[in-house]
Amino acid sequence: LTLSFTASNPFTSKMKLTSVTETNSYRSENTSWQTPRQFSFSIGYRFGKTQVNVKSTNRSIQNDDMDTSSRGANAGAGQGM
C-alpha cells in the first residue's frame, strides 16, 4: 500500500499576472488573477505478487560478416566503377 500527498504553493492565496503590449499607436494591458494552490492525494495498491520469468536460449549470434580470410582482400567493399 502506498499513500502520497502533494502540495504546491500551499501558502500563496492569489497570484497577479499582468501582460503589457505597447507600440507607438497602441497599448494593451491585461491583468488576471490565479489561485496557484494545488493539493493532491493518491493511493496505490498492488494486487498479488508480480513474478517475471525470463526464458533463456541455447543459441547465440555468430557474427562472421567481418571475416575476410575466405573472401579475399576486398571482401565487404562496395562495387567499383
Q: Is residue 21 part of a domain?
A: yes
Q: Is residue 53 part of a domain?
A: no
Q: Is residue 27 part of a domain?
A: yes
**CB-CB contact of 36 with 80 (8 Å):** no
Domain count, the chain: 1
Q: Is residue 24 part of a domain?
A: yes
Kindly report the pTM of this predicted structure.
0.39
Q: Tens-digit pLDDT profile for the chain (81 aa)?
A: 899 999 998 888 898 999 999 999 999 999 999 988 899 999 998 888 777 777 777 777 777 787 666 555 555 555 555
| Predicted pLDDT at 9 | 87
Residue 55 grid cell: 526464458
Amino acid code (one letter) for 8: S
| Predicted pLDDT at 49 | 78
| Predicted pLDDT at 67 | 67
Q: Which domain holds residue 39?
A: 2-44
For 1-81, strand residue ranges (E) read 2-8, 15-22, 27-34, 38-44
| Predicted pLDDT at 30 | 96
Spell out the residues 6+ positions from residue 5 whose beta carbon is closer than 8 angstroms to its own: 39, 40, 41
